[in-house]
Amino acid sequence: MTETIDRNSAIPLYVQLSDLIRERIKRGEWVPDQKIPSENELNQLYGISRMTARQVLSKLVDEGLLFRVQGKGTFVAHRKISTQSPSYRGIREQLEQQGYATSTEILGAALVDADARSAEQLGLPVGTPVYSIRRLRRVDGAPISLHESFVPQSLAPGVIDHDLVGEQLCTVLDRDFGLRMAEVSETLEAATASKSQAKLFGNQPGAPLLLLEQRIAAPDGHPFEFTRIHFRGDVIRLQFHYSH
């Protein structure tokens, strides 16, 4: 780090150091997963106290710009991708408009008996035939989200035979089956990756995830899709906008 801290400036030392670190990351001098100088090294470079260095690093960790690994040090975090909820616009469409290359892998698509949870959300008796569709979405080759959707067979017969890789499920349901999204109920909560999810995402069991559940209904109020989406919490940031 060649930048200097101006001790005669009215700007506090911790703000100056924060700005220096942000600028190096912004310029690409420090890249994701790269280890940055320790508190002791920052102390030696700038003559600031370890307490000030610790304060700065902790603040940037809280902001998600850095992350710590116990016993190894502090590293540059991956920049989070900001998207709106899929109820505003399909995740794939949003990502592609931001310039990301996306791909979708079908992990499974089959006709199954609705379990208690999906039956409740779709307003069906348990055991009613529904399509279960599991998809893994990647951005620039890296997996970021796992989608599991349930659609009543009676409302979209043969939907799993359609192109669900090249097209979004919502597009197929609207265009080919007249199931237009008119009402969406959502819940969002924190979750952690199971062993099987961690294997798909390429991270560790227990890694942070965001779980978004959606119940989607047609203009007549009848639900036609229930979807669970697990997003990588270290990669995705969901945005919600409200107006009154």
- Residue 202's domain is classified under what CATH number? 3.40.1410.10
Which DSSP letter does residue 201 get?
A: H
What is the model's pLDDT at position 64? 76
Confidence of residue 62 (pLDDT cuts 50, 70, 90): confident
Query: Is 96 or 36 the better-scoring residue by pLDDT?
Result: 36
User: Do 208 and 136 fall within a single domain?
Assistant: yes
Does residue 179 fall inside a structural domain?
yes
Does residue 214 fall inside a structural domain?
yes
Does residue 8 fall inside a structural domain?
no
Domain hosting residue 19, numbered range? 13-76
Give the residue among 87, 67, 84, 86 at the shortest CA–CA distance from 75. 67
pLDDT tens digit sequence for 76-111:
887 766 665 665 556 666 666 766 677 899 999 999
User: Do 49 and 137 fall within a single domain?
Assistant: no
What is the percent of the chain where pLDDT is above 90?
Answer: 48
Q: How far is CA 52 from CA 20, 118, 160, in A?
A: 14, 51, 57
User: Do 126 and 63 fall within a single domain?
Assistant: no
User: Do 31 and 71 fall within a single domain?
Assistant: yes
The total domain count for the chain is: 2
Does residue 203 fall inside a structural domain?
yes
User: Do 120 and 227 fall within a single domain?
Assistant: yes
- Specify the pTM: 0.69
Q: How far does Cα 164 stand from its chain's mean position?
A: 21
User: Do 72 and 85 fall within a single domain?
Assistant: no
Torsion of CA 135, 138, 139, 144, to 10 degrees: 80
User: Do 170 and 51 fall within a single domain?
Assistant: no
**97: helix, strand or coil:** helix
Domain boundary among the residues 76, 93, 113 is at: 76
What is the model's pLDDT at position 86? 61
Does residue 72 fall inside a structural domain?
yes
Contacts of 24 (CB under 8 A, 6+ apart): 1, 30
Distance CA(187)–CA(202), nearest Å, equals 25
Does residue 7 fall inside a structural domain?
no
What is the model's pLDDT at position 193? 92
Check whether 243 has a pLDDT greater than 60. no
Does residue 5 fall inside a structural domain?
no
User: Do 51 and 138 fall within a single domain?
Assistant: no
Lowest mean pLDDT among 11-25, 57-71, 73-87, 209-223: 73-87
User: Do 135 and 213 fall within a single domain?
Assistant: yes
Which DSSP letter does residue 80 get?
A: P
Confidence of residue 221 (pLDDT cuts 50, 70, 90): very high
Confidence of residue 70 (pLDDT cuts 50, 70, 90): confident
The residue-averaged pLDDT of 148-171 equals 95
User: Do 214 and 199 fall within a single domain?
Assistant: yes
User: Do 60 and 135 fall within a single domain?
Assistant: no
Distance CA(189)–CA(162), nearest Å, equals 31
User: Do 128 and 232 fall within a single domain?
Assistant: yes
Check whether 231 has a pLDDT greater than 70. yes
